Amino acid sequence: MQVRLLLAKLDSVAALLQSPLLLAIRLFWGWQFAQTGWGKLMNLDRTAGFFASLDIPLPKLNAILAGGTECVGGILLALGLFARPAAVPLIFTMLVAYGTADRDALQAIFTDPDQFAGAAPFLFLLASLLVLAFGPGKLSLDALLGRGGRAAK
């Protein structure tokens, strides 16, 4: 019986960490997304050239789409505003990044997980998946506006 009480207390205390942790993830990785996207947009010719070297079709258009998605999506993620909908195109963008710029890391997901986890898109993808799965938390504009800012229970 004593163990159940201790576990229940641990659950209660740990649950208090959900929203602050989600806030930290959203602020850090949202800002990182926004900066990365802004960099793509401000260096559009260089980004388009890189995309062309990866055989991405319509490289300039895709550079604008990727940069815009990362910039706007990152800001929304950081604010916790439309956070779950914003996470979806960010996840897609990171999957495309794996499939193009980090194809070797993606192919090594089971044979060399460290290579997969060490690739540039990994933490961006993980942060986006966490926000999609758990929501932005109580410390978000979505929660303030009553749009599902709750963390998972």
Query: pLDDT tens across 49-78, in order?
Result: 999 999 999 999 999 999 999 999 999 999
Q: What is the pLDDT of residues 17-32, one digit of tens each?
A: 999 999 999 999 999 9
Give the predicted TM-score (pTM) of the model: 0.90
Question: What is the DSSP secondary structure assignment for residue 150, as one 8-state letter?
Answer: P
- CB under 8 Å to 84, separation ≥6 — which residues? 131, 132, 135, 136, 142, 148
The model's confidence at residue 153, banded by pLDDT at 50, 70 and 90, is very low
